Structure 1
Amino acid sequence: MKSKTEVDIIILSFAKSEELKLITQQCISSLVASEDKDEIKFNIVVIESQKDMKPYQYPDTKTVYPDEEFGYHRYMNMGIEMTSSKYVCLCNNDLRFHQGWATEILKAFHKYYDLSSASPFCSFHHPKMGFEENNGIYTGYRSRYEVAGWCLFLKRDVFRLTGKLDENYQFWCADNDYANTLAALKLRHALVSSAVVDHLDSCTLDSQAEEAAIASSEFFYLEKKWNHRSMGSWTCV
């Protein structure tokens, strides 16, 4: 009897309104419905920042409410440490998973033995960046191009080489740092154009001023961390 492939899914959520809670619920529902349960088992962990929802559990998930202050990588590391499957997928909550998306990424991992990390194709975003849906894989390390930071699907063994995600990133530039780390270690990443997961874009920040303040400090840290290297086309900052 063929065993199921298990994939640990870590979703960060900040359901500070009913509308945002619904976005997370719809994300989870589309994920659960996207694959044959006899073939792929999703172990879904939601890290919820809205503490007053506790002890609410999103259906089909383990929902946790950290005491620690929010940090994008800090919370992702919590989810990574709570799980143990061979494959792990780091997700925003504003996603819609299309049928068979994970199967397509797993096919790419099986076909390209040196592929360590992948992102799915967003039908809203990626055509504008010059990519075609269902047109093979696109290897590279450019943020928002090959590296779609809202959904990163990787082999857990990657963390043996990279270590934990850098927790200095509160929100912005986390995907740039991830891409740079893979490139520095020569760990191959690709956009899998046959795996479709649509990104609806984040709406959890309160204002442009808040967004700019967070972004400026994190771009500064990113530049300080990586400016001693020959960056080439690793990042898109």
Structure 2
Amino acid sequence: MKEKVSIDIIILSYAKDEHLKNLTIQTIDTLLASEDPEKIHFNIVVVESNKSLQPYQFENAMTIYPAEKFGFHKYLNMGIKLTGNPYVCLCNNDLIFHKGWATEILNAMDNDPVMMSAVPYCPNFHKKEGFAENAPPLEGYFGVLIGWCIFVKREIFDTIGMLDEKFVFWYCDYDYSNTLEKYKVKNCLVSTSVVTHLGSESITKVDSKEHRKLTQVPRFYFSYKWHHHSYIRYKAETWLFKIKMALNL
């Protein structure tokens, strides 16, 4: 990597309270401290779900407040479309970026031009799952791939299209993984790149009814899309679930 590289960083944030707001700030701060700004420029876009925070702007980032209802893929697509650099990183707001994480992925992609998608090593996940740190890039899909920090070449979207916005929250990473596998797009775990995921803290702040909606509805669509369940079954399952939600069953 000889020339300065610009990377678009799309961060989905739900700063419903000060703790979650500070998580986003910490993510940005550790990101900016992780690389030499003379070599790597991070163009940061925060897609904020807490519209009451508007017009607040996170420092060193452009913060947008979509009028549209939250959707994990929908909000990521907004960030992707707002930016134009050759590399894009799709991020949660509860990350700690370690020194040189981006350089390691860029070097891996330079050494293997076929690699279009990569994920960094998370000590809280990959180590527990038995993946070795500082190992050669490991090709793989679901299980290797994690959904909270995905680094891609922008040209990947010319092959796979934009992210499927029917997935609102759960199954987003599974859908992305299956899509890469479908189009034979190479994804690797770059275990010399380290980004710690602190845990899904934002989801714990929603009420139980909203949590059920975010986590259960996508299951029906995922089964229809990838397991070839009938469209009638998919619609019926969704309809019955919504009735149960309305009746608080």
> Scaled by the length of structure 2, what TM-score is found?
0.88
CA shift for structure 1 position 227: 1.4
Q: What residue is the counterpart of 1:118 in the other structure?
A: 118
Structure 1 alignment gaps of length 5 or more: 230-237
CA distance in 1, matches of 2:38, 2:14: 31
CA shift for structure 1 position 3: 3.3
Query: What secondary structure sits across from 2:8 in the alignment?
Result: strand
Q: What residue is the counterpart of 1:198 in the other structure?
A: 196
- Report runs of 4+ in structure 1 exceeding 6 Å deviation: none
Structure 2 alignment gaps of length 5 or more: 230-249
Q: Deviations over 1:2-48 (max 9, x none)?
A: 53101000000000000100000000000000000011000000001
RMSD: 1.3
CA shift for structure 1 position 209: 5.0
Query: What secondary structure sits across from 1:9 in the alignment?
Result: strand
CA distance in 2, matches of 1:18, 1:69: 22
Question: What is the correspondence of 1:80-229 to structure 2 with a 5 Å cutoff?
Answer: 80-142=80-142, 145-205=143-203, 206-208=206-208, 210-228=210-228
CA shift for structure 1 position 181: 0.5
Query: What secondary structure sits across from 1:222 in the alignment?
Result: helix
User: How much identity, in percent, do the aligned residues show?
Assistant: 49
CA shift for structure 1 position 216: 1.8
**Inter-CA distance 209–66: structure 2 relative to 1 (3 Å threshold):** closer
Q: What residue is the counterpart of 1:235 in the other structure?
A: none
Which has a greater percent of helix? Answer: 2
- State yes or no: 1:39 paired with 2:39: yes
CA distance in 1, matches of 2:197, 2:212: 21
How many residue pairs align between the two structures? 226
**Inter-CA distance 208–131: structure 2 relative to 1 (3 Å threshold):** farther
CA distance in 1, matches of 2:26, 2:214: 28
- State yes or no: 1:57 paired with 2:61: no
CA distance in 2, matches of 1:16, 1:134: 36
CA shift for structure 1 position 228: 3.7
Specify the code of the residue in structure 2 equivalent to 1:60. N
Query: What secondary structure sits across from 1:78 in the alignment?
Result: helix
CA shift for structure 1 position 113: 1.5
CA shift for structure 1 position 213: 3.4
CA distance in 2, matches of 1:54, 1:214: 24
Q: Deviations over 1:64-102 (max 9, x none)?
A: 111111100110000000000000000000000000000
Q: Deviations over 1:114-156 (max 9, x none)?
A: 10100000011111111011111111111xx311100000000
Specify the code of the residue in structure 2 equivalent to 1:124. N
Deviates more, 1:2-11 or 1:101-110: 2-11
> Scaled by the length of structure 1, what TM-score is found?
0.92
Question: What is the correspondence of 1:68-79 to structure 2 with a 5 Å cutoff?
Answer: 68-79=68-79
CA distance in 1, matches of 2:45, 2:202: 19
CA distance in 1, matches of 2:101, 2:125: 16
CA distance in 1, matches of 2:59, 2:99: 19
CA shift for structure 1 position 214: 2.4
CA distance in 2, matches of 1:207, 1:56: 25
